[in-house]
């Protein structure tokens, strides 16, 4: 955890088959109240009114947990102190990275903070950790297929993400409404693409 200022009430723990199970998201509150979202148009990005509630039913949370416990991911979560040694771990916030890079980019598969714990800086701590792991792997950027909700995009931009100048087609086809973003790790601040995004 080199240099990461985690709050004293949490510990960072790996999330894998040795520390948790497919129920690790059962009590996780994914709920996000979206009022506006970004749309990619030929004229550039537009922020549009589009109110909805983004949530996952229990079955979807278990599918996601099973998916992330597969061998192709590295996942870590913030666990309340005192609960870090009990199986199965139940994170209040977590992220997952794909193990295999796509070219020189490492993909952030997921970063989530349970609703009661948002606004406390936990997402920033976890994305900093994901960036550290991506750098250590030799990646030049952290690639993010981001939910287009206004708050989600604002968070990633605050962390240094820009619209990807070279979107990964697999990500675009899997989530066509997502914004394809990158955080460049090389120290060279890449510019957003030519459409002024």
Q: What is the pLDDT of residues 72-120, one digit of tens each?
A: 999 999 998 776 667 888 999 999 999 999 999 999 999 999 999 999 8
Instruction: Of 72, 86, 88, give the one whose Cα is nearest residue 17.
Output: 88
Rounded to two decimals, the pTM is 0.86
Most confident of 35-44, 122-131, 185-194: 122-131
Residue 76 near residue 94 (C-beta atoms within 8 A): yes
For the chain, list the domains and their CATH numbers: 10-27+57-184 (3.40.630.30)
Residue 9 near residue 121 (C-beta atoms within 8 A): no
Cα gap 137→98, rounded to integer Å: 11
Strand partners, 179: 146
* Per-residue pLDDT at 145: 97
């Amino acid at each position: 955890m080199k240099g990461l200022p985690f709050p004293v009430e949490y510990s960072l723990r790996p999330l894998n088959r040795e520390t948790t199970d497919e129920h690790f998201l059962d009590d996780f509150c994914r709920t996000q109240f979206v009022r506006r979202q970004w749309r990619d148009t030929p004229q550039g990005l537009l922020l549009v009114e589009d109110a909805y509630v983004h949530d996952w039913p229990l079955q979807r949370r278990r599918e996601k947990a099973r998916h992330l416990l597969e061998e192709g991911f590295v996942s870590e979560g913030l666990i309340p102190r005192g609960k870090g040694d009990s199986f199965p771990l139940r994170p209040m916030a977590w992220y997952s990275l794909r193990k295999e890079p796509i070219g020189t980019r490492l993909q952030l598969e997921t970063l989530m903070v349970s609703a009661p714990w948002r606004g406390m800086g936990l997402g920033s701590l976890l994305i900093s950790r994901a960036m550290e792991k991506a750098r250590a792997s030799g990646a030049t950027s952290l690639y993010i297929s981001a939910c287009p909700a206004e708050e989600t995009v604002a968070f990633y931009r605050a962390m240094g993400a820009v619209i990807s100048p070279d979107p990964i087609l697999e990500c675009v086809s899997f989530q066509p409404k997502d914004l394809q973003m990158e955080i460049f790790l090389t120290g060279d601040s890449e510019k957003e693409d030519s459409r002024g995004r």
